[in-house]
């Protein structure tokens, strides 16, 4: 059963969120790709973790690329790998490409492969000039403006 969502009511009440609704709309219409399965975990206030089940892939067969606000994870079998004759093949080791849209200021800080699980560590690093700062209130006089 497939459910569709109409995000158009949100467009009339918001300004500057077009990108968010476009991403939601494309995620819903794209459907679940299913392979490889993955989890997205919140590991702390500003840290996240993506864990992907990549059984059958070695470190040399996986590639992780971040470009601006997109994370691309690909798995490709090594050329010249010995083809085996299977009586039953239950482990899907087919090539894949999985894309993740990242929020502003989210960076990949590390990745590891253990026991068939690829773990990608992410952290939101907000630049100092974008962080909230306290403004000192002066009493008894108008604020002084200094020229630089």
pTM: 0.66
The residue range of the domain holding 94 is: 33-126
E strand or H helix at 73, and its extent? Answer: strand 70-75
Claim to verify: residue 64 and residue 4 sit in the same structural domain: no
User: How many angstroms separate the CA atoms of 35 and 41, rounded?
Assistant: 18
| 108: confidence class by pLDDT, cuts 50, 70, 90 | very high
User: How many angstroms separate the CA atoms of 118 and 41, rounded?
Assistant: 13
Q: What's the confidence (pLDDT) of residue 31?
A: 46
Closest by alpha carbon to 62, among 112, 22, 108, 25? 112
Claim to verify: residue 103 and residue 46 sit in the same structural domain: yes
Domain count, the chain: 2
Please work out, in degrees rounded to the nearest 5, the angle formed at the alpha carbon of residue 30 by the alpha carbons of 9 and 41: 90
Say if 143 falls within a structural domain: no
Claim to verify: residue 49 and residue 19 sit in the same structural domain: no
Claim to verify: residue 15 and residue 40 sit in the same structural domain: no
Each residue's pLDDT tens digit, 56-96:
899 999 999 999 889 999 999 776 556 777 788 787 778 89
Claim to verify: residue 87 and residue 14 sit in the same structural domain: no
Please give the mean pLDDT across all residues of the chain. Answer: 80
């Amino acid at each position: 059963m497939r459910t569709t969502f109409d995000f158009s009511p949100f467009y009339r009440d918001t300004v500057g969120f077009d990108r968010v609704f476009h991403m939601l709309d494309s995620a819903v219409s794209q459907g679940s790709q299913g392979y490889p399965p993955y989890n997205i975990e919140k590991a702390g206030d500003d840290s996240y973790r993506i864990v992907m089940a990549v059984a059958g892939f070695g470190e040399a067969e996986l590639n992780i690329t971040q470009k601006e606000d997109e994370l691309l994870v690909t798995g490709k079998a090594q050329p010249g790998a010995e083809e085996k004759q299977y009586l039953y093949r239950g482990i899907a080791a087919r090539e894949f490409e999985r894309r993740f849209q990242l929020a502003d200021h989210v960076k990949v800080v590390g990745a590891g492969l253990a026991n068939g699980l690829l773990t990608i560590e992410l952290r939101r690093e907000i630049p100092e000039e974008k962080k909230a700062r306290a403004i000192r209130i002066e009493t008894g006089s108008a604020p002084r403006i200094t020229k630089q």
